[in-house]
Amino acid sequence: MAATTDTGADFRTRLQTWLPKLVLSPSLAIMLVFVYGFIAFTIYLSFTDSRMLPSFGWVGWENYDRLFRIREWNVALTNLAIFASLYIVISTAIGLSLAIFLDQKIRGEGVLRPIFLYPMALSFIVTGTAWKWFLDPAIGLENTMHLWGWESFTFGWIKDREMAIYTVVIAAVWQSSGFVMAMFLAGLRGIDNEILKAAQIDGASNWNLYRRIILPQLRPAFLSAFVILSHLAIKSYDLVIALTGGGPGNATALPATFMYSYTFTRNQMGIGASSAVIMLMTIAAIMVPYLYAELKEKK
Amino acid sequence: MTMMKKLHMTAAVVALSTTAVAAQEVEVLHWWTSGGEAAAVGTLRDTLASGGVGWLDMPVAGGGGSDAMTVLRARVTAGDPPTAVQMLGFSIQDWAAEGALANLDALAAEQGWADVVPAALQRFSTYDGSWVAAPVNVHSTNWVWANTALMAELGISQPTTWEEFVAAMEAAEAAGHIALAHGGQAWQDATIFDSMVMGVGGPEFYQAAMVDLDPEALGSDTMVEVFNRMATLRGFVDDNFSGRDWNLATAMVINGDALFQIMGDWAKGEFVNAGLTAGNEFTCFRVPGTEGTVTFNSDQFAMFNVTDPEAQAAQLAMASAVMSPEFQVAFNLVKGSVPARTDIPSDQFDMCGQMGMAQLAEAAAAGTLFGSMAHGHANPPSVQNAMYDVITAHFNGEYDAATAAAELVTAVEIAQ
Amino acid sequence: MAVASPETAIRTSRITRAFIYLFLLLFALFYLLPFGIMLINSVKPLSEITGGNMIALPRDWTIQPWLSAWSTAQIGVEPTGLRPYFINSLMMAIPAVILSTVVGALNGYVLTKWRFRGDTIIFGLLLFSCFIPFQIVLIPMARILGILQIAGTTPGLILVHFVYGIGFTTLYFRNYYAAFPTELVRAAQIDGAGFFQIFWRIMLPSSGPIIAVSFIWQFTNIWNDFLFGASFASGDAAPMTVALNNLVNSSTGVREYNVHFAGAIMAAAPTLLVYIVAGRYFVRGLMAGSVKG
């Protein structure tokens, strides 16, 4: 090893120390250009008069000023708040319940698990129409219930301005709660059974067992679920387009649909860019503290 | 077979990546992706093929062409624009302003386009006095489509005033039918809004509010009345309208579930496909109050700047084929619209087609031919969509008429 | 990590168990419903769909919609069906998945076993890329693809998916390798094994579960992507989702819902297959990797 006289070996040792950084550097370079470069470009665009294509006339804060005067943007932000909080809470609750139940030596787990997971494999371009049908009162669930004789049954949320956003929540929960289940299940399977047995011998009830011992140990799974769900919520686009097209009216617009519409349909790229910057800042506000805590802990 | 496909694909990839586009080939971006429309575009491809010009198809459906426009932006930014792009109204002007479009003046002069295309269309096909696009068709949007059997059953004759129109719909509703078939999508709400603006305020008001975007017109009492009529129409639409596609609404008229639909002339294709004929099982008439005027939109092929001489030749061949009377007839018979050229005999068209062609020529002569706001021919996309927001919010009950008019002023101001 | 037995030691009563089974079955029904609707309606003649109950079983079974969607449906001006686009998607997804997985594995290996000053910051930078809304990258990306002369081609799409997959794959592999005993690596180093030798001989053989996770995640995302596919690949190079969208979004004419559903199921088939075949590694991989704090 310590063959410093041999220049070949010296070169090799030095290469070995440099190699890890060398391997990592292309990824870093790619990220700097394709992620951070593009983000910087978007931030710059948000201060310009860009309309159909990027242009570079500086307009200061005007786009932001306009953005917050647009009623639909406020609707989109309110919707995101409703959607994200319900989506995260419900998906987590369902995911956790399914995981706990599946963890009880269930017969047929091998069949049930892929059924719970598969929606994550499908895009809403594929399932959007089916969902739209199912939720449509004229041909979907409501109609079916009527045909089966339950005449008073009504389920017309998707047509109702006040309720439509909740149908988006239903479809979104359908898609990702199985994935959350998988994360919690993985967490549960990682818990040491000896602790549980000891607690049981001490006479702890099942309820207390979960509340005091198991759930606290699932903290990392909760965090991962929260991060994945919140980024899915903020990026939600296909879902809304496929299900409601943003309607009735603009009742189900979300920031991502707003941004796409302003940037690409309405030729107001400057405003679109400023809404993207707000979205990015929201994501950063959630992610940076998480990453900081997560990475610091590891040291 | 698969091998051939692969070879073909690799060839295309190579051709594109070296930017040396294959000799005499047009790449066409469009959103006519299925059914009769796609077949109609197919006739254009065949025409070009017989002249030795290849066709590289680039369909992008969705969002009434907005997805295609996104793709176009990516292609132009990449420095690799398609040869020709299906485009509507103000988009053509925007791209021309970016200097992205080719100059077709020589061909246009040779074939005398200026004499046969109405001035209102030329406003979109030319930029700075130069031809940049070849118009394919004219759709007019202020039509009512009606089920004649239902009209007879209810004892309704064709309404000619707003009051008669309302009375007819009341009669239908009283008899347990849906009076107005409508789909709750922003562009559909806006389509009927166009007709209400024209019907209440007349051509001058339409010009002032929809084209000149005069805040006084937008916030006027006339506009409040327009929104009142929109609310009246909303009362005649069934409760399950939200998000419904326009063709499903048309199907309601076809099946006799609904009496009327206010929709552009593409709706005719649905009736024809269902085996119905104009004048017999269904009929068409102008939205009461808008007679003598036509609001239109026009599909055009905008021609992009290509540098390769072979590609330029192919592009001109395509423009020439699009403007040929044969293609204009063949395409529009399928599409339900009328030719962009006014010198084409109308005998192959059905009753509604003939009416449409005659009225288009009259309106063009009388100066009452206006671009449709709902279809991007009255104002730029930013304003158009800002209007959509207000119209659709009002139609879904978020605003009363007075608030809607006030919101319209604000929304248009922010969008400009 | 202590090797825990696969199931908990919790005991439950008979009534509780009945309730649990009921709950699980109800949710299974909920998850299966949309796909069931698609499947049922893809084997019905169109007349039964437009005139009837969408949840009812077909009176006349037919596979015509499937044949049509696969090989004769009109996509643009060509009546080719979805077949050629299916192949495009495979040619795009497979290289992109492999590339991003390999790079993610190497990154994860460096970030856990060859740590250096500032490595966590670099990891943070990589990770944040998972969270940018893809709409903002369209225009600048198009410019770069144009400069590289791969705009509108499958290689261009592979690059895009590779770039935006690195963050996820790095995250998965880093968390997985963090639990891998570093002593083994040090021991191998002392024995004279080099950087790549250690990776190849020691890390990779035990990476099965996390490779499955990375593969499933990447394949699903790339296969299902519509935005990049529509923007950066055109005409003959278009992936399956773009073709499906063209099939489903007819602007005029009769909507052949049965053909649309058959096409949609075809478009979903590879990802479904991946979930079913590799699905059981998924939980195992997550267990060892990404949920650990």
**Residue C133, min C-alpha distance to chain A (Å):** 6
Contact B95 A52 (CB under 8 A): yes
Q: Give the CATH class of B140-296+366-415.
A: alpha beta
Which of C140, C283, C292 lies at the smallest CB-CB distance from A38? Answer: C140
pLDDT in tens, B365-404: 999 999 999 998 999 988 998 999 999 999 988 899 999 9
Contacts of A136 in chain B (CB under 8 A): 240, 243
C-alpha–C-alpha distance, residues B264 and B284, integer Å:
11
**What's the CATH architecture for B14-139+297-353?**
3-Layer(aba) Sandwich (3.40)
pLDDT 10s digit of each residue in chain A, 299 long? Answer: 444 445 566 777 777 778 888 899 999 999 999 999 999 999 999 999 988 888 888 999 999 999 999 888 999 999 999 999 999 999 999 999 999 998 888 888 888 888 898 898 888 777 877 888 788 887 778 877 887 888 888 888 888 888 889 999 999 999 999 989 988 888 888 777 777 788 878 877 778 888 888 888 888 788 878 878 887 888 888 888 878 877 787 788 999 889 988 888 888 899 999 999 998 888 888 878 877 877 775 54
Which of B125-129, C139-143, C224-228 is modeled with the greatest confidence?
Answer: B125-129
For residue B207, give every residue at least 6 positions away whose Cβ sits within 8 Å of its Cβ, in sequence order, or none.
B370
Query: Do residue A159 and residue B241 have CB atoms under 8 angstroms apart?
Result: yes
Q: Does A27 touch chain C (CB under 8 A)?
A: yes
For A:248-267, CB contacts with C below 8 A are: 256, 259-260, 263-264
Burial A252-268 (b: 16+ CB within 10 A, else e): bbbbbbbbbbbbbbbbb
- Taking CA atoms, what residue in C is nearest to B30? C76
Chain A residues with beta carbon closer than 8 angstroms to that of C111? 24
Residues 6 or more apart whose Cβ sits within 8 Å of residue B323: B111, B113, B134, B135, B341
- Per-residue pLDDT at C259 exceeds 70: yes
φ, ψ of residue A132 in degrees (nearest 5): -60, -45
C9 contacts A197? CB cut-off 8 A: yes
Size of interface A-C (CB pairs under 8 A): 276
The reply to whether residue A248 touches residue B63, judged by beta carbons under 8 angstroms, is no
Binned at pLDDT 50, 70 and 90, residue C210 comes out as confident
pLDDT of residue B40: 77
- Does A53 sit within 8 Å of B77, measured CB to CB? yes
Restricting to B residues 277-306, those with a Cβ less than 8 Å away from any Cβ of A are none
Inter-chain Cβ pairs, chain A and chain B, closer than 8 A:
84
Calculate how close chain A gets to C249, using CA atoms only, in Å: 11
φ/ψ of residue B85, rounded to 5: -135, 130
CA–CA separation, B138 and B144 (whole Å)? 17
For residue C252, the distance in angstroms to the closest alpha carbon of chain B comes to 7
**Residue pLDDT, tens place only, B194-245:** 999 999 999 999 999 999 999 999 999 999 999 999 999 999 999 888 878 8
User: What number of other Cβ atoms are within 10 A of residue C190's Cβ?
Assistant: 9
Instruction: State whether C251 and B32 contact (CB < 8 Å).
Output: yes
For residue C291, list chain A residues with Cβ-Cβ distance below 8 A: 183, 186-187, 190, 220-221, 224
Average pLDDT over residues C219-237: 84
Section C222-228 average pLDDT = 88
User: Are A224 and C282 an interchain contact pair (Cβ–Cβ within 8 Å)?
Assistant: no
Numbered residues of chain C with Cβ closer than 8 Å to any chain B Cβ: 50, 73-78, 84, 87-88, 138-139, 141-143, 145-147, 149-155, 230-232, 234-237, 242, 245-255
Q: Give the residue carrying structure tokens 């269904």.
A: B282
Domains in chain A, please, with CATH? 32-69+268-299 (no CATH), 73-267 (1.10.3720.10)
Minimal Cα–Cα distance from C239 to chain B, Å? Answer: 12
Yes or no, beta carbons of B414 and A66 under 8 Å apart = yes
Chains with ≥3 CB–CB distances under 8 Å to C: A, B
Q: ipTM of this complex > 0.85?
A: no
Shortest Cα distance, chain C CAs vs residue B104, angstroms:
25
A291/C127 CB distance under 8 A: yes
Of the candidates A24, A112, A193, the beta carbon closest to that of C122 is on: A24
Of B2, B16, B61, the CB nearest to C246: B61
Q: CB neighbours (10 Å) of residue C276?
A: 13
Closest by Cβ to B247, choosing from C234, C246, C255:
C255
pLDDT in tens, B150-168: 999 999 999 999 999 999 9
> Does the distance separating the beta carbons of A235 and C133 come in below 8 Å?
yes
- Whether A138 and B240 lie within 8 Å, measured CB to CB: yes
| Domain parsing of chain C, residue ranges | 14-65, 83-288
User: Taking the domain C83-288, which CATH number applies?
Assistant: 1.10.3720.10
What's the confidence (pLDDT) of residue C242? Answer: 85
Contact B33 C75 (CB under 8 A): yes
CB contact under 8 A, C53 and A147: yes
Which phi and psi (to 5°) does residue A255 adopt?
A: -55, -40
DSSP chain A: ---TT-HHHHHHHHHHHHHHHHHHHHHHHHHIIIIIIHHHHHHHHTTB--SSS----B-TTHHHHHHTT-HHHHHHHHHHHHHHHHHHHHHHHHHHHHHHHHTTT-TTHHHHHHHHHGGGGS-HHHHHHHHHHHH-TTTSHHHHHHHTT-TT----GGG-TTTHHHHHHHHHHHHHHHHHHHHHHHHHHTS-HHHHHHHHHTT--HHHIIIIIIHHHTHHHHHHHHHHHHHHHHH--HHHHHHTTT-STTTT--HHHHHHIIIIISS-HHHHHHHHHHHHHHHHHHHHHHHHHHHHHH-
**What distance in Å separates residue C3's CA from the closest CA in chain A?**
7
Strand pairing category for B25-30 and B54-59: parallel
- Residues of A at the B interface (Cβ-Cβ below 8 Å)? 51-53, 66, 69-72, 132, 136-138, 156, 158-159, 161, 164, 244-245, 247-251, 261, 264-268
pLDDT mean over B178-191: 92
Q: Does B411 touch chain A (CB under 8 A)?
A: yes
